Structure 1
């Protein structure tokens, strides 16, 4: 119980800070994504900037909604107070994940690092979508423990962007690798972490239903 409360508070703090950071960075500090786009060199496809920016903004907004919705549905107090809200909010999360995956699929061919990074992003999208669908199927079958475990795995993917940039910064500024190489390492390193970390968390919180 104590482990779960501590993890939830930590999760809430990180999620709220990252949501605020994402909105400020993408809509106030650098709405044209100038800094991020400066690293996209040697693209095989011509980038339609207005269209890309529109899709990117939709992507960011729904990624933030998914992160917020998922966080709320992990709250025991909210679950106990209103099962109906929990269920409806779950559909909000599901829809948000779908939008994020679709918009990410549009942006993947323009990923920093070229084709190899694009493949990584497409893999991330497919894994996240499959895991989320499995979580949805589990709750439809009334398998609450399994649903919770798969939702933990799904929610971890809300932190994809954060992990990619943390790993990129580590290898670029910490180890001196070129940005593009560091970014590609970030994409594939994130895939590994998103598959490993949730399993550790699931073991930490135990097997109780709530």
Structure 2
């Protein structure tokens, strides 16, 4: 029951935050985290284009990516699993690439920028590696890399969980944002690593 409840919570958060970018279609452009940006930055067409491509493609990746871990979908309809996977890979790679540029303008300076640049780079690497592994027929390696990839994609969710807590703790948005630039994804990777090790241990026992 607990496992099912966690799965539902996981999927719900992914869907809600995955749909979050649609709010920018209806609300003022200085909405959410954009409130911290200097007005001059909005005149940078390349930054604006990169930002909206990043949140739309990233939102789509988050919105559909969780379904890839559903055994029911994978077993019952492998074609749908592959089609969703293809859309996820393309969306994630685009979002990761654009994040590298917009991270240069991250609120909080160099420390914040480095956190988001590392996130974008590792997300791109794990996603591309997952794609290359499945093209080679290396399913186990593909599944591991996809788990890492989506753990990084899920940083969009964990950032929104950690940030208000850190703001309350430090009573300062800048300090909180500098920390969350790292905290939103490093624990996610650790959890993914532990899940993979648990799966490997289970498989090792089943082969004995």
TM-score, normalising length from structure 1?
A: 0.81
The equivalent of 1:20 in structure 2 is 19
How many Å separate the matches in 2 of 1:15 and 1:38?
A: 23
Per-residue deviation at 1:200?
Answer: 2.7
Q: Which one has a larger percent helix, Structure 1 or Structure 2?
A: 2
Q: Is 1:200 matched up with 2:197?
A: no
Aligned equivalents of 1:38, 1:17: Cα separation in 2: 21
* d(CA) in 2 for partners of 1:192, 1:110: 21
Q: How does 1:72-87 map to 2 (within 5 A)?
A: 72-87=67-82
Distance of 1:166 and 1:10 partners within structure 2: 13
Gaps of 5+ in 2: 204-208
TM-score by length of 2: 0.82
Q: Distance in 1 between matches of 2:35 and 2:10?
A: 32
Partner Cα distance (2:143, 2:30) in 1: 36
Contact between 1:3 and 1:205, CA under 8 Å: does it hold in 2? no
| Separation of aligned partners in 1, 2:186 and 2:94 | 23
Structure 2 residue 106 is the aligned partner of structure 1 residue 111: yes
In structure 1, stretches of 5+ residues that fail to align are none
- Deviation above 6 Å: which 4+ runs of structure 1? none
Q: Shift in Å at residue 3 of structure 1?
A: 7.8
Report 1:1-210 matches (<5 A): 7-24=6-23, 26-28=24-26, 30-40=27-37, 47-49=41-43, 51=45, 52-176=47-171, 178-203=172-197, 207=202
Q: 1:14 to 1:191 in 2, by over 3 A?
A: closer
Give, in angstroms, the shift of residue 122 of structure 1: 1.2
Aligned pairs, how many?
Answer: 201
Q: Which moved more, 1:104-113 or 1:198-207?
A: 198-207
